[in-house]
Amino acid sequence: MNREELEWCVSVPKVELHAHLNGSVRNSTLFELARVLGDKGVIVFSDVENVIMKDDRTLHEVFKLFDLIHILTTDHSTVTRITKEVIEDFAAENVVYLELRTTPKRNDSIGMSKRSYMDAVMEGLRAVSSVDVDYSPAGLKTNTFNGSMRKKMYVRFLLSIDRRESTEAAMETVKLALEMRDLGVVGIDLSGNPIVGNWSTFLPALKFAKEQGLYITLHCGECL
């Protein structure tokens, strides 16, 4: 692909329907945050340094990287920063409609609940300055920030149930999604390491979500 073709691809308006918040973190941000945790002795930086930069990761390496990201994103300020950067990066590629999926996390040691995690996500969305952001579901009053004549980006959220979670935790995520419908949450996602968990664990929560009118998307078959 030559330069003109690349510029054309970037300029075309795009719709992104499958973006993981944690899977879209900048490599530079991952390096910075991982080095800080390495200096603190929380992780061994050398164990993750090469995995961060690899393009041809095995499934095992992919989830090793996600394990690192899960450690990094159990801090409110980091969640806010990552959200802002991810949305701005998609805006730079001229994505006009973005669906971000993320697993609300609980970390009692720092006072993080699933709701406060999502509040940190919303704070990151509100901090976006490179594009006007609309996060309201269809049919509700439009909510925008930095209102101007600049281009607008529509952002919606799917709350993910991790396969490692219990039925109760999965149901908590669905109820949180219902509470945040007016903040752009439109559905529920089932994701996480495909070799763990049991389908019957999440079925009650997924059925409840469907009954309440939430959209549902499932990750399945990645290791078949």
Tokens of 182: 């007016």
Q: Using an 8 Å Cβ cutoff, are 121 and 160 in contact? A: no
* Other residues' Cβ atoms within 10 Å of the Cβ of residue 41: 7
**Residue of 175, 198, 201, 200 lying closest to 188 (CA atoms):** 175
Q: Residue 117, SS3?
A: helix
Concerning whether 222 is annotated as a catalytic residue, the answer is yes
CA distances from 187 to 137, 157, 159, 183, 213 (A): 11, 7, 7, 12, 9
**Rounded-to-10 torsion of CA 73, 137, 189, 84:** -20
114 to 20, 85, 149: CA distances (angstroms): 17, 21, 35
Catalytic residue among 93, 168, 179, 222: 222
Catalytic residue list: 222
